[in-house]
Amino acid sequence: MKNIYRLPFFVLWLAVVGCGDGRVAVTGTVQFGDGTPLDRGIVFFENKALMASGKIQKDGTYLLIAGEEKGILPGDYQVSIGGLTGPTIIPSSEPGSMPTVIPPQPSPIDKKFFSPSTSGLTCKVKKSTIYDITVEPPH
């Protein structure tokens, strides 16, 4: 019966320290050389065992998610950026109305960043990591 009183503290402890799956947070900012943030797109981290992605916010920041979980396992990753040229779909605020579709736009960054094999971006993740990315406009 004594242990039942410890249960709430154990649950709180798990919430604070995590379940021990080894994931660490990876965040950062994507910006141009002049400091202007890239305001859309997706950052991809991948290696032979895992692929994770993070949606780029309007201020250029991202947070990696692998599957349904925040964070990734430590390791060496190749990095790329995508999700820039497709159409943008804006849901309607009125029920039954059609969404607004904005046609594909030209990419604001050089196409070399689209592939992990050509981006030149790599990251060694050991513990929680801030990985800032500087991109270039198309050549």
Contacts of 100 (CB under 8 A, 6+ apart): 89, 90, 92
Domain extent at residue 118: 22-88+97-135
Q: pLDDT tens for residues 53-112?
A: 999 999 999 999 998 889 999 999 999 999 887 777 888 888 888 888 888 888 899 999
Q: CA-to-CA distance for 17 and 54, rounded, in angstroms?
A: 22
Would residue 118 count as lying in a domain? yes
Would residue 11 count as lying in a domain? no
pLDDT at residue 20 in the model: 52
Q: CA-to-CA distance for 133 and 45, rounded, in angstroms?
A: 12
State how many domains the chain has. Answer: 1
pLDDT at residue 127 in the model: 92
Element (H, E) at 100: strand 100-102
Would residue 9 count as lying in a domain? no
Would residue 26 count as lying in a domain? yes
Would residue 5 count as lying in a domain? no
**Which CATH number belongs to the domain containing residue 108 in this structure?**
2.60.40.1120
pLDDT at residue 85 in the model: 78
Q: What is the pTM of this model?
A: 0.75
